[in-house]
Structure 1
């Protein structure tokens, strides 16, 4: 019996790693590669699929209700905001992600953005290239042990980020309503409530998933409560920040700066004011990337499908 596996969309040069996993599974798998952009595209392609491998194409309630045979939807990455989890759960479809493939990479990238801002590396680089050989271009810079790094979320990535930040001497604080103060204290971190960490953090690093409760979690009200010297670091998801409010806060000096690997709209519009601001560092949603992470992501996403089709339980099941 052949199992139809639909890849809704992809941006890889080839699909060697996925094909190898399916070939080695011992299953008879028909691997269909598509480039779906809309719900209609997915509905047309996925109707009779046994499994769906997904990158960015929308797997909405409407799409899920149209599925006749699907047992599993596996997504490349940590976030599953492309998939309606409630609809999948009601239909008995397993949804799985790959939550651990980029843990080192994202925590490293957040650390790089923190250090670039804390030592104003990008600003100084740009000034020197303009012909300005003068340290005063970066005034003021403060010692790390006089500053607080706050993190929103206390899952795998922020815990690893904290482990890397800790030896540098920063004071550490975290907000996560699902983690106890004792657990945080064991990692050398002070637990704070959201309003408290917003007021106290010199650097606020975002590591929460994009869900209904975190959409625009940081907004104009939050920015108004932050230190004027505060910097926001986002390697999570763009819509966690109200970007319009962020731009206004940066333009008016309500906060000092931002280091963003993600934005509300991706790719960012060439007309975005963020691209013209010297107090903003932007990278193109690249925090997850290394060659090793790319391979791990693709293999694990495919293995999720193989395990469910075989009647096994994938460790990465969300529904």
Structure 2
């Protein structure tokens, strides 16, 4: 019996093309004993009937819920195309013996570069300057001086896969680097020139606050009204992680009142945001539709990582980067004797 892999259909454009370009599908075509196709899931919850008969799923944005797994007797792997897995009920997967994997190697460089891009664009007020030119206000540019980064303080909220790469990229810029992460290795941070501090200290001292932590119950609204009030009035907030880590209503209020200099957001509490959301009308915020890191490099890296996870399981190997290794003890997976 072939090992069947299903990809969620949101990888496709309306005319049937892979919207991401090359995501490494040639490796699936070349694999022996493997069949693959697209399942009928574009957004929302993946229905159980869509996954019956599949051994592995490669998932972009649709949600894998406990109901998705009902009757999925063959399913042993959900491979996320990316590192966020808030659209996957990991506990339900573990109970059902379904391993969940992510692709940190694919996102590390592209997301860190995009985070730095947003930081620099906000610091140089690039969005506002773009609008000046388009509006014929060339000579108003003296009113839109930016903020240099040399000698300024970068505060990283989360110093994991992305945060560490961002530290490396920013090292030549001559910035003082702080990080707030209870799980970070102090020796590794010190070797990278990063000082680990409490979050409130970071917010009080940073000129640029960069959110790079994972969304968990503990980090939901981690940056709330009280913590936003602790930021410098000249500081910028950049979020390339997940929208609900920041209280968006509170952020909108401090931006409206000019209590921080500005923000750059690739993510929102609700995606897509309501077109009437007052945040969208502000001049001191730079916005991207959760796609600032979307490049050919990211697409191929994530695709290769997710596909390799599926091929590993098909070949009886334990894949890299499982987020629920406890699932390996489930009879469904232990019977496969992954090595």
Asked if these proteins are the same fold (TM beyond 0.5), I'd say yes
For residues 245 and 117 of structure 1, the distance between their equivalents in structure 2, rounded to whole angstroms, comes to 19
Once the two structures are superposed, the pairs formed by residues 131-170 of structure 1 within 5 Å of their partners are 131-139=137-145, 141-170=146-175
The answer (yes or no) to whether the contact 2:42–2:62 under 8 Å persists in 1 is yes
Equivalent of 1:203 in 199, 202, 208: 208
For residues 108 and 252 of structure 1, the distance between their equivalents in structure 2, rounded to whole angstroms, comes to 30
The answer (yes or no) to whether the contact 1:127–1:137 under 8 Å persists in 2 is no
Q: Tell me what 1:259 maps to.
A: 264
Gaps of 5+ in 2: 325-339
Of the structure 1 ranges 65-74 and 274-283, higher mean CA displacement relative to structure 2 is found in 65-74
For residues 68 and 253 of structure 1, the distance between their equivalents in structure 2, rounded to whole angstroms, comes to 55
* Shift in Å, 1:151: 0.5
Q: Do residues 217 (structure 1) and 231 (structure 2) align? A: no
The answer (yes or no) to whether the contact 2:157–2:181 under 8 Å persists in 1 is yes
The answer (yes or no) to whether the contact 2:9–2:38 under 8 Å persists in 1 is no
Q: Do residues 57 (structure 1) and 29 (structure 2) align? A: no
Equivalent of 1:291 in 285, 293, 296: 296
Q: Tell me what 1:281 maps to.
A: 286
For residues 55 and 233 of structure 1, the distance between their equivalents in structure 2, rounded to whole angstroms, comes to 24
The answer (yes or no) to whether the contact 1:216–1:240 under 8 Å persists in 2 is yes
Q: Do residues 189 (structure 1) and 201 (structure 2) align? A: no
Once the two structures are superposed, the pairs formed by residues 110-121 of structure 1 within 5 Å of their partners are 110-121=115-126
* Shift in Å, 1:301: 1.2
Of the structure 1 ranges 224-233 and 268-277, higher mean CA displacement relative to structure 2 is found in 268-277
Relative to structure 1, the CA distance from residue 29 to residue 85 in structure 2 (aligned partners, 3 Å threshold; closer, same or farther) is same
Matched residue SS, 1:232:
strand
Matched residue SS, 1:62:
coil
* Shift in Å, 1:223: 0.8
For residues 4 and 186 of structure 2, the distance between their equivalents in structure 1, rounded to whole angstroms, comes to 47
Of the structure 1 ranges 122-131 and 213-222, higher mean CA displacement relative to structure 2 is found in 122-131
For residues 147 and 244 of structure 2, the distance between their equivalents in structure 1, rounded to whole angstroms, comes to 30
Q: Tell me what 1:109 maps to.
A: 114
Matched residue SS, 2:218:
helix
The answer (yes or no) to whether the contact 1:234–1:261 under 8 Å persists in 2 is yes
For residues 306 and 69 of structure 1, the distance between their equivalents in structure 2, rounded to whole angstroms, comes to 15
Runs of 4+ in 1 over 6 A off after TM superposition: none
Relative to structure 1, the CA distance from residue 125 to residue 29 in structure 2 (aligned partners, 3 Å threshold; closer, same or farther) is closer
- How many residue pairs match? The answer is 317
Q: Tell me what 2:329 maps to.
A: none
* Shift in Å, 1:5: 2.1
* Superposition TM-score, scaled by structure 1 size: 0.92
The answer (yes or no) to whether the contact 2:263–2:286 under 8 Å persists in 1 is yes
Q: Do residues 20 (structure 1) and 22 (structure 2) align? A: no
Q: Tell me what 1:318 maps to.
A: 323
Q: CA RMSD in A?
A: 2.0
Query: What are the superposed Cα offsets for residues 96-138 of structure 1, whole Å, 9 maximum, x if unpaired?
Result: 1111212222111111111122222332332344324244312
The answer (yes or no) to whether the contact 2:47–2:67 under 8 Å persists in 1 is no
Q: Tell me what 1:31 maps to.
A: 37
Q: Do residues 234 (structure 1) and 239 (structure 2) align? A: yes
Relative to structure 1, the CA distance from residue 8 to residue 291 in structure 2 (aligned partners, 3 Å threshold; closer, same or farther) is closer
* Shift in Å, 1:200: 1.1
For residues 33 and 158 of structure 1, the distance between their equivalents in structure 2, rounded to whole angstroms, comes to 34
Relative to structure 1, the CA distance from residue 24 to residue 152 in structure 2 (aligned partners, 3 Å threshold; closer, same or farther) is same
Of the structure 1 ranges 199-208 and 21-30, higher mean CA displacement relative to structure 2 is found in 21-30
Q: Tell me what 2:53 maps to.
A: 48
